[in-house]
Structure 1
Amino acid sequence: MMPAPDTAVLIDGHALAFRSYFALPPLTSKSGEPTHAILGFMRQLTKLMKQTSNQVIVVFDPPVRTFRKEQYDDYKAGRAETPSDLPAQINRIRAIVDAVGLPRLEVNGYEADDVIGTLAKKAEAHGMNAVIVTSDRDSYQLLTERVKVLTSDFKLLGPADVLEKYGVSVSQWVDYRSLTGDASDNIPGAKGIGPKTASKLLQEHGTLDEVIARAQDGTLEPKGAREKILASLSNVYKSRDLSCMVTDLPLDIEMATHAGAGDPATLDALLTELDLGSVRRDLEALRSGEIGESTPVAEPASLLREVPQAEWRTPGEGVMWGYLLSREDDLSAELLQAATYDSDVTRTAPLEFEPVEQESLETTSSPEEALFEEVASNKKAKSKAKPKPEPLGHVNEAEFVGQREIRAAGAKALATHLQVRGLKIEPGDDPLLIAYLLDPANTAMPAVSQRYLHARWPGDAAGRAALSGQLWELLLPQLDEARLKLYYDIEKPLSQVLARMEVRGVKLDSAYLRGLSGAMGARIQTLEAEIHVHAGHVFSVSSRDQLEAVLYDELQLETGRKTKLTGKRSTAVAALEPLRDEHPIIPALLEYRELSKLRGTYLDPMPNLVNPRTGRLHTTFAQTIAATGRLSSLNPNLQNIPIRSAVGREIRKGFIAEAGFTLLSADYSQIELRLLADISGDLLMQEAFQTGADIHRRTASQVLGVDENNVSIEQRRAAKTVNFGVLYGMSAHRLSRDLGIPYADASGFIDRYFETYPGIRGYIDRTLAFGREHGYVETLYGRRRYVPELVSTNRTVREAGERLAYNMPIQGTAADIIKIAMIRLDEPLMALGARMLLQVHDELLVEAPLGKADEVAELVKATMMGAAQLSVPLNVEVGRGPDWFDTK
């Protein structure tokens, strides 16, 4: 006869199932039922059942509200939503536990923690040890020399460990939690009292009641802690009520007994239905006393495709695509012919190119033409000083000068090379643009060549030219009518507009930017010193590992998320932002990060990228990067200069107008919301835009049922957040965090939003259904984005695909509209002596002669507003100023 168990293993069923859900990649049975949480749970369970001295008891939260939820409705409201496919797996786990023959407890009105607390006390009363399997730190109040918590890495944690890590005893744990709170359970604590302060106060005064008494009689030090506790006193008491476990429930269970026989037939049927053969083997090995590790489950291949970086993004062998106009590389024959193609010209050998004199260059005052003249002059001098014999295969310049367009893969990059050297050649047909319209995953010629010709992209000029021609002939017929129109009416003419914008550049006030960099550097040093003071010692703030140790080990801040690859506690901005109010080191650290990034990305590099001949910065606009059709900006990336932060906006002061000119900024106002109203067909939202209403105030009024004139600032802010957030799949959890409101309020707001605007829910549903059927979604103009993730069995991948799918038609149509406006504006602006300089998201930056600024502003506004005919009007805001900042 087996001896009676001497250790009660108390498993928090929901906690272990939740942990198992994220520990394994998504897995399904043959019938498609998710099983990864079940598999992970059973692997841990069989490990714990292996020891015959263990009495394993599984405890679950009941399906009804608990007494804590009845007392405090916002209890645990801050928790992330349970994954939609987890509850069904938990029900399966319940059934398997019963069939195995283990005790399973659920007590209505009480949480699993309370049942576990009672069982731990019962185990001690029977002379047993107890091991608690949970992720809830409230269980630390139960710890004794006989009661331990089993951590996720299978280490036992006892009273001494709590004292060492947190600086408080087990008997002080509830008091400690009452002061610090717990964001995961929405336990408020005392606002502003962090772990170190709470620990210090309890070490000095022993109990929470004594700390409160000292605060009330004015003797508690420091003064700041005293004021924070008194200001949060009701929350402190509330937190203590929520944190205290019940340990005296009347449970009908016999301790120190082995598992029952269970129901083998039901167990076998369950494991067969769920295709959990490895679990069956583990359980059979348990019965035979030969349990071993299950065979690891291979992680399924991701459906997300990796596309190699475009070759032109990195200067490299042979050709440098995306040429930096701030550099003065010589124009070689290999570069010139790297991707040009013509069915009547055969190129078979390396070629040299020596420009001949041009007598026809016009002299103007524009910076780009001044550059042309100087470069052409230098080339003439070189040609005269060092005449070269004409080599085999020499290309006569007339072959290019006589052409208006150059056909090439990456034609715009090649055309800008020629333009800055005085050759009036524009980008023409481009197979890369065709490939991009076929599938926006086609962002680089090496990938396109491999995909459609099953050939490597050659390193030699002649080979590249030949493959470019083949790809043109192959891919053009594959475009449907809508995408042919996109090519000929938008992408090809846009490449010519962008080439001119790249060559023009934009004038920078380099002295201002260097001064701003110096001031920012001084602020960064001050912040670094503050961070060291908050940490209590000097460390490398830029070291991820050192920062992790300071934040989570030394300061004991809550760890919200771990990185997927390493499992380490995240120090990314997204993980730190929710901790902003937890400790003063966090806001200092976030500001330090922001300033360091701005300085390193923009302020220091940009003055060095100014072309010395033009005094202007020449960025490169990439047409084939973003899957939505939006333009990207490279070297430097001007699209990412932040405009929401004051510091980011300061950088825009460094972009200035040429003497005699002013800058005009024209920005589509709320274009994505207007497109959402049009495409969704929601009549209420359309009516708001048609009547010129404040859409955010109108939304708040409609959703909350208040008079529009009485909408508060907070209510309008919430409506604005949801209006824009719905396009990106904003969850109630995210809205709760962003607005600092209870989760229930955030969830209710989103529900009422879709009830108010049913057309938007209909649009999302229609778009997802179309995407699942056809494999792609598209803009109003027929631009496609393929979304294979929509039918993924991986829930995380699938939901990310859904957000992409219903966002793309809106964002992609906005991109198409501003491209149309740019094409229509190009020649009329030049006729007025004005020039388009930059395109950033929904904004155009134009340089206009001072005497014609009003006329230019009127032209730009009218053209942009008329770029598309929708059921709601497009609105454009135009501002002007001597620099980009002052145009707003």
Structure 2
Amino acid sequence: MIPQYPLILVDASGYLFRAYHALPKLTNSRGEPTGALVGVLNMLRKLIEDHRPEYIGVVFDAGGRGFRHDRYPDYKANRPAMPEDLRAQIEPLRTIIRAMGLPLLVVPGVEADDVIGTLATQAAATGLPTLISTGDKDLAQLVGEHVTLINTMTGTRLDPDGVREKFGVPPERIVDYLALMGDSVDNVPGVPKCGPKTAAKWIAEYGDLDGVMAQAGTIKGKIGESLRAVLDQLPLARDLTTIKRDVALDLGPTDLRPTPPDVETLRNWYERLESRRLLATLDGVGVAGAPTAARSHEAEHSTESEAGTEPQYELILTEAALEDWLSRLQTADLFAFDTETTALDAMQAELVGVSFALEPGRAAYVPLAHVYPGAPDQLDRDRVLARLKPLLEDPGRPKVGQNLKYDMSVLARYDIALRGIAHDTLLESYVLDSTARHDLDSLAKRFLDHDTIRFEDVAGKGAKQIGFDQVPLEQAGPYAAEDAEVTLRLHRVFQPRLAAVPALERLYREIEMPLVPVLSRLERAGVLIDSARLATQSAELARKILELEESAYRVAGRRFNLGSPKQIGAIFFDELGLPVVAKTPKGAPSTSEDVLERLAAEGHELPRIILDHRGLSKLRSTYTDKLPRMVDRDTGRVHTSYHQAVTATGRLSSSDPNLQNIPIRTEEGRRIRRAFIAASGHRLLAADYSQIELRIMAHLSGDERLLAAFAGGQDIHRATAAEILGLAPEDVTGEQRRSAKAINFGLIYGMSAFGLARQLGIERGAAQEYVDRYFERYPGVRDFMDRTRRQVREDGYVETLFGRRLHLPEIGHGNQARRAAAERTAINAPMQGTAADIIKRAMIAVDAWIEAEQPAARLILQVHDELVLEVAESAVEETRARVCAAMETAAELAVPLVVDIGEGANWDDAH
């Protein structure tokens, strides 16, 4: 079974104190105290046996002073010294817990509660159900949709309803409740004589602590007097009782995977403790008598993990075996499917075999084209595909796979239109956490604690690597069958996690999954290029690159390698005496691109020459030289690959070739776009969202002036310049509009006044004035940014309009620069991510129209906020209208979505 709580966090210091006071004061024959130690170990064992978590963190207080002492020197001043017989049991306990293979955390400067609070908050942000084992009422403030408390000694649990029932207030008001009552044990000041019932009553009547304080004058009697006498102390009490949720930790929730126990160390310690019960747990079991603690809970699904049996992987070489599997696949509620091929490029890949899995622990591989010497007879590929075609094309037979877009494109080459794509583990993982790795091997290790058979294991590495069609069946069969079987197991892990966060489940179901066939069709459509035009441009670029090299030699006074950072550094800083504006981690002067940009902006000639040289060299190597070589021999077109699960924000990326990075603002970049052409009798239609991220900012911030500017169809940059300079729009100069544009886009990317000053070439003080005036005129934007910073510090993630989450683990990092970078990302991510969601919704809508009505048009490119279609000349006007309507209705914002559409014989002319 899957455990109800994959993550357990243990308040070990609380365990220790409770065990010490609740259990007999036992000693071993040496007179060493053992009662609390053995009590904690037995509680831990029972907790693990009952819940079998995938992740577990055992958290101790570090001891000594912390930040609360700095805030209030008398914090915990009333606590008596720890008894020596208890202190003597702490280090042995920690040693034993480490030997058990359980992750142990002791973080100086904060309490165990703060570490638990941080980990629980991070886990909840990903929808990971978490159980906190504690008897401390303070931790009730952490309870929520994904966080539950358990008191191990009593067995009672507290979910949000349980917190309300026990304390009379919801989890989010526990801090206020604790502040009103105070805590004599921790010496936290509160309202004298205010007990649990009074605190809960006041919160019910006045909402929260601030409400109680605001109404203090209306509360009668002695208790009212007591409240009014300590009003100035209550904010401090609230601070002291608030659990910190942004502690900078080296480990995250999913890093807390148990490891195999050190049995010899455990045996020595258990013998020293003279505990027969603990010694008995070491007889052929896993972690300290709890064998499942170090096993992944998802592995409970597979027969491989039950009773020690191996998975059953079948190699299908006969018609009878194929028919047997087909009959079971046709009645399955869901089956996993995978292809094995000769190439990563779906446009060139030949099908070598297919694999299926019906249930964990059971899968099969059907080899179809293994051609190595001595290969056994295999079923005829065409006959097998003819038998599979009805099943694979049946939308009523749900399938799950890992990156099914690839399989769909491969099958299309064999005239099979894969339908019934119900789930894709690549996308399930991506939606749950876009910043993680989503390849099958990594997912299997992370979520199933399973080391997969890797491609290199069966095909070799490097120059000696062979194609999969050359891999012997005795190796190919288990490898291929495992891919399908592991995929099915992973889906069973991901499905409940997605269901636990409805917004993520909806994003997955309504955007990411429907996009799979859209991208497959788009990739297979491809785009025509004018190879002759690119060859001419490539030759011209080569001449310009040589000219730049000669210019660089002239300025430097000698020849050098323009691609060598070491040689560039020597010339810049030793010979020309240029200022050092940044250093590498090792302390050497940096020659990074950012440094070159700064030096060039300051008027230094050589850095500008090197930047221009790099830019032209990259265009030549990546596009003008390479694109003609990438024309598909069968279609005569270039076919890029789009990736849904790469960027953190949800944007699509592309590779082979990467079409996202062709510069549009330079003449050389535009010339490359002119080489993307329409077929004879067709036109290219380019539809681009206008200023979509600024429009999303207006929607998210609700700023009245920004909303009004977009609603009125104003030039937003001119309107911004007019607002912050106090001018009429018609009086704004081109330079002033340029500055306002830099502010508009700079701020949504988290640019500072320093960065703005550098970009505009003005003094930092003047840039700061621009920023200050901007926020004076657009206070809603400032409020949105402040809210976002607070939210990301509290939740650890930000969300798009459609519920996509971007996790920012560095928001709690101890390094201020890294925290600041995470804050800047947090401000931009909701806009960039929402824009990505909107263009995906638009693609799905446009593709649905094309599939339903079969116009003489097809999607051929998606780049950032733009869709490009190849359209028959006779269908241009109809397509323009339908695409515009689909894109402008892809989301409902507080401002209109505006789409700029053009058409031409090539991509550049269509703009």
TM-score normalised to structure 2 length: 0.57
Query: Which residue number in structure 2 is paired with residue 868 of structure 1?
Result: 891
Which residue number in structure 1 is paired with residue 4 of structure 2? none
The Cα of 1:321 is off from its aligned counterpart by 11
Match of 1:748 among 749, 762, 769: 769
* Helix, strand or coil at the partner of 2:870: strand
Q: Which amino acid in structure 1 is aligned with residue 759 of structure 2?
A: D
Q: Distance in 1 between matches of 2:877 and 2:253?
A: 49
1:836 partner SS: strand
What is the Cα deviation at residue 775 of structure 1? 2.1
State the match for 1:125 in structure 2: none
Partner of 2:741: 720
Residue equivalent to 1:475? 494
1:387 is displaced (CA, Å) by 12
In 1, distance between residues paired with 2:253 and 2:908? 39
Instruction: Please report how far the alpha carbon of residue 343 of structure 1 lies from its aligned counterpart in structure 2 after TM superposition.
Output: 4.0
Give a deviation string over 1:742-761, Cα, whole Å, max 9, x none.
11100111111111111111
Please give the secondary structure, in 1, of the residue aligned with 2:685.
strand
Query: 1:578 is matched with which residue: 585, 589, 598?
Result: 598
Match of 1:445 in 2: 440
Percent of counterpart pairs with the same letter? Answer: 40
The match for 2:518 is 497
2:901 is paired with a residue whose SS is strand
Task: Kindly indicate whether residue 753 of structure 2 is the aligned counterpart of residue 758 of structure 1.
Answer: no
1:419 aligns to 2:412 (yes or no): yes
Greater Cα shift, 798-807 or 394-403 = 394-403
Which runs of 5 or more structure 2 residues have no equivalent in the other structure? 1-63, 71-247, 256-337, 455-478
- Preserved contact between residue 703 and residue 749 of structure 1 (Cα < 8 Å): yes
Matched residue, 1:836? 859
Task: Give me the whole-angstrom Cα distance separating, in 2, the residues matched to 1:541 and 1:801.
Answer: 33
Question: Are 1:324 and 1:619, in contact at CA under 8 Å, matched by a contact in 2?
Answer: no
Separation in 2 of the partners of 1:626 and 1:330?
Answer: 29
Q: How many matched pairs?
A: 549
Aligned twin of 2:882: 859
Alpha carbons of 1:509 and 1:391: their partners in 2 closer, same or farther (altered >3 Å)? closer
Q: Give 1:447 deviation, angstroms.
A: 2.4
Q: 1:569 — aligned with what?
A: 589
SS at match of 1:667: strand
Match of 2:430 in 1: 436
Q: Is the 8 A contact 1:561 1:570 kept in 2?
A: yes
1:325 is displaced (CA, Å) by 4.2
1:347 partner letter: A
Q: CA separation in 2, counterparts of 1:501 and 1:838? A: 7
Moved more, 754-763 or 791-800: 791-800
Instruction: Report deviation, 1:582.
Output: 3.4
| Alpha-carbon distance in 1 for matches of 2:390, 2:667 | 48
CA shift, 1:774, in A, is: 2.1
Name the SS for the 1:407 alignment partner. Answer: strand
Aligned partners of 2:695 and 2:895 also within 8 Å? yes
Do 1:829 and 1:835's aligned partners in 2 also have CA atoms closer than 8 Å? yes
8 Å CA contact retained: 2:367, 2:378: no
Which residue of the partner structure matches residue 792 of structure 1? 813
Checking the alignment, whether the CA contact within 8 Å between 2:339 and 2:351 is kept in structure 1 is: no
Q: 1:464 aligns with which of 461, 471, 483?
A: 483
1:205-251, Cα deviation, whole Å (9 max, x unpaired): xxxxxxxxxxxxxxxxxxxxxxxxxxxxxxxxxxxxxxxxxxxxxxx
Give how far 1:416 is off: 1.0
**For the residues of structure 1 that align with 2:433 and 2:449, how far apart are their CA atoms?**
17
Q: How does 1:699-710 map to 2 (within 5 A)?
A: 699-710=720-731
Asked if the contact 1:535–1:550 (Cα under 8 Å) also holds between the matched residues in 2, the reply is yes
User: 1:624, CA displacement in angstroms?
Assistant: 0.6
Which residue of 845, 858, 861 maps to 1:824?
A: 845
Cα distance change on mapping 1:351 and 1:748 into 2, 3 Å:
same
| 1:318–1:624 CA distance, 2 compared to 1 (3 A) | same
Describe the superposition over 1:42-65 as per-residue Cα deviations: whole angstroms up to 9, x where unpaired. xxxxxxxxxxxxxxxxxxxxxxxx
Deviation at 1:721, TM superposition (A): 0.5
| Separation in 1, partners of 2:649, 2:435 | 10
Counterparts of residues 678-717 of structure 1 (less than 5 Å): 678-717=699-738
Secondary structure of 1:825 counterpart:
helix
Tell me, in whole angstroms, the C-alpha distance in 2 between the residues paired with 1:673 and 1:511.
39
Secondary structure at 2:860 match in 1: strand
Say whether 1:634 aligns with 2:649: no
Answer with 770-779 or 854-863: which moved more.
Answer: 770-779
The offset of 1:436, in angstroms, is 1.1
CA distances 1:25-55 after superposition (whole Å, capped 9, x unpaired): xxxx96469x9xxxxxxxxxxxxxxxxxxxx
| 2:367 is the counterpart of 1:352 | yes
| 1:552 Cα deviation after fit | 1.6
* Equivalent pair of 1:814/1:842 in contact (CA under 8 Å): yes
Structure 1 residue aligned with 2:825: 804
2:872 to 824, 849, 867: 849
Please list, as runs of the form range in 1=range in 2, the aligned pairs for 1:1-400 lying within 5 A after superposition.
31=66, 323-325=344-346, 328-333=348-353, 336-337=354-355, 341-343=357-359, 346-348=362-364, 351-353=366-368, 388-390=377-379, 397-400=386-389
CA drift of 1:402 comes to: 3.1
Mapped partners of 1:876, 1:516: distance in 2:
31
Answer yes or no: is the 8 Å Cα contact 1:497–1:822 preserved in 2.
Answer: yes
Deviations 1:788-821 (A, max 9, x none): 2222222112111111212111111111111111
Q: Distance between the aligned counterparts of 1:495 and 1:573, measured in 2?
A: 36
Following the alignment from structure 1 to structure 2, what is the Cα–Cα distance between the partners of residues 30 and 714?
56
Distance in 1, matches of 2:753 and 2:254, equals 30
Closer, same or farther: CA 848–605 of 1 in aligned 2, 3 Å: same
C-alpha distance in structure 2 between counterparts of 1:666 and 1:491, whole Å: 21
- SS of 1:556's equivalent in the other structure is coil
Partner amino acid for 1:473?
A: R
- Measured in 2, the distance between the counterparts of 1:344 and 1:765 equals 48
Give the whole-Å Cα distance in 2 for the aligned partners of 1:397 and 1:352: 15
Q: Is the 8 A contact 1:619 1:637 kept in 2?
A: yes
Q: Deviations over 1:287-316 (max 9, x none)?
A: xxxxxxxxxxxx99598999xxxxxxxxxx
Q: Residue 352 of structure 2 aligns to which amino acid in structure 1? A: S
Distance 1:434 1:870 in 2: 27
Q: Separation in 2 of the partners of 1:707 and 1:416?
A: 55
Which position in structure 2 is the counterpart of 1:518?
539
Once superposed, what is the RMSD of the aligned Cα atoms?
2.9
Provide the secondary structure at the position in 2 that maps to 1:638: coil
Are residues 584 and 785 of structure 1, via their aligned partners in 2, closer, same or farther at CA, if it must alter by over 3 Å? closer
Shift of 1:400: 4.0
How far residue 491 of structure 1 moved from its aligned partner, in angstroms, is 0.8
Q: Which shows bigger deviation, 586-595 or 720-729?
A: 586-595
The letter for the 2-side match of 1:579 is L
Structure 1 residue runs without a partner (length 5+): 1-28, 36-298, 307-316, 356-381
Aligned-partner SS, 1:872: coil
SS of residue in 2 equivalent to 1:887: coil
Q: Does the residue aligned with 2:617 lie in a helix, a strand or coil?
A: helix
Cα separation, 1, equivalents of 2:357 and 2:641: 23
Q: For residue 775 of structure 1, what is the amino acid of its counterpart?
A: G
Q: Offset at 1:488?
A: 1.7
Residue 817 of structure 2 aligns with an amino acid whose one-letter code is T
Hey, what's the Cα distance between the residues in 2 that align with 1:579 and 1:396? 62
Distance in 2, Cα, partners of 1:343 & 1:302: 34
Give the 3-state SS of the residue equivalent to 2:415 in structure 1.
coil
Aligned partner letter, 1:707: A
> Could you tell me whether the CA contact under 8 Å between 1:524 and 1:595 is conserved in 2?
yes
